[in-house]
Amino acid sequence: MTKSWTRIDITCGAQTADILAAEFAELFGVSVECIPDGIRIYLDSARFADERERLQNTVESVRSLAGEAEIGLTLSEIADEDWSQTWKAHFKPLRVGKRFLVSPTWEEAPPGPERLVIRIDPGRAFGTGHHETTRLCLEWLESCPPDLDNKAAELSLLDVGTGSGILAIGAALLGFRKVVGIDNDPEAIEVARENIIVNGLSGRIQLLCATPEELSGRFDVIVANIHSMPLIGMSETIASRVNEGGRLGLSGILTEQAEQVRAEYERKDFRLTGAKSEGEWVMLTFER
């Protein structure tokens, strides 16, 4: 029997699109495509039948939160072979920061001097480099600390909510001594492991299906690209995992939520060192 897919197009304002993209990535473990006036995701049609009510409830909840009068929802059935080609057509190699090139596994990455190529299959987990929050994190990793090229081999890094593994892979390519990626979603860990193998980094990155509470030890650098509320809820635990003098990068934060996140971590003895915005999203960086 030929598999079919449901394409879900949602038309809405830019801020609502950003919130929905993050929600769908977490709820359904899919990558989100930006389209004019909204976003698009694909779900296996059989799965969509089971998830339809949850999807519609999520859309309605975000609509109310964002204060948007109406959100358009269009559904289309697509055959498996058409979906795979349509999906891949929208992912091309993307330059991020000064050194990174994020390339889908099916594209030939153009060569370049001192370029760090991250090869990613974006099919099932959040993190392709195309979302603002991921780009902000990769750019921060490049400059953390400023003389990273000389010090990376001495540093350990924890990636909280690793998703596709893109940030852990980026850290390993930069030369961090120890890189650990954690996620509470077993499928995300599976996807991250596949991407790590593709990048030839199997011996360089440790993956754990775990939460920060389940870890022991401390790290020189922690990066967490998740939602504001989990960042606030886990602040005590995340703070306890950062070495004295260590650095912390938090992303997945909407502009209007940045002050609340900043205040929470400053209460945990962190000093704000930077706040960088892209679109509706903010990355906050701290030093302990």
**283 pLDDT higher than 90:** yes
Per-residue model confidence (pLDDT) at position 131: 77
Report pLDDT digits (tens) over 163-178.
Answer: 889 999 999 999 898 9
Q: How confident is the model at residue 124 (pLDDT cuts 50, 70, 90)?
A: low
Number of domains observed in the structure of the chain: 2
Element holding 225 (H helix, E strand): strand 219-225
From the number of C-beta atoms within 10 Å of its C-beta (0-12, 13-18, 19+), residue 59 rates as buried
- CATH at residue 85: 3.30.70
DSSP-derived 3-state class of residue 232: helix
Residue 67 corresponds to which tokens in the numbers above?
A: 């204060």
> Do 151 and 275 belong to one domain?
yes
Please give the DSSP secondary-structure letter assigned to residue 153.
G
* 199 contacts 169 by C-beta, under 8 angstroms: yes
> Do 57 and 144 belong to one domain?
no
Range of the domain at 182: 131-287
> Do 20 and 143 belong to one domain?
no
Q: How confident is the model at residue 216 (pLDDT cuts 50, 70, 90)?
A: confident
Percent of the chain with pLDDT over 90: 38
* 121 contacts 198 by C-beta, under 8 angstroms: yes
Q: Pick the last residue of a domain from 55, 89, 123.
A: 89
Within 10 Å of residue 61's Cβ, how many Cβ atoms?
13
Poorest-confidence range of 15-29, 83-97, 207-221, 256-270? 83-97
- CATH at residue 144: 3.40.50.150
d(CA 14, CA 28): 21
> Do 139 and 15 belong to one domain?
no
